[in-house]
Amino acid sequence: MNVDTELKYLHKQIRKHAPSLEAEDYRQISKNGADAGWNGFIYYNDTCKFFDNNEEPIMNYYYGVCEDYGYKNVFDMFAKNTDATTMDEFRNWATWGILEAVAREFYDSGQ
């Protein structure tokens, strides 16, 4: 699958995971980031659960991003963009990144 296909699938998964998120929330996530605290994506148990349930499409998305931006692999990208050191921190970072990517796509496309 390509990055766009993965992102569309993950958008559906986010809507299932956090159905209370509305269009304005996505605009705010796009503008302010996922770490501002959004229903379903606040605590590690939330973000890690989302990651675990969607690991394959999340990783496929990031593999595509790595190719586009010249990273060796996902962990290279992770190491260069965060100071996190645990797998839970990685899963949290990866989930927030997906939420932000979906929010940008949602906001930019006007869906």
What pLDDT, in 10s, does the model give residues 58-81?
999 999 999 999 999 998 998 898
Report long-range pairs for 29-35 (Cβ below 8 Å, ≥24 apart). Answer: 29/99, 29/100, 29/103, 30/100, 30/103, 30/104, 30/106, 30/107, 30/108, 33/96, 33/100, 34/95, 34/96, 34/97, 34/99, 34/100, 34/103, 35/96
- Per-residue confidence in pLDDT tens, the chain, 111 aa: 578 899 999 999 999 999 999 999 999 999 999 999 999 999 999 999 999 999 999 999 999 999 999 999 998 998 898 888 899 999 999 999 999 999 998 776 554
Q: How much is the pTM?
A: 0.90
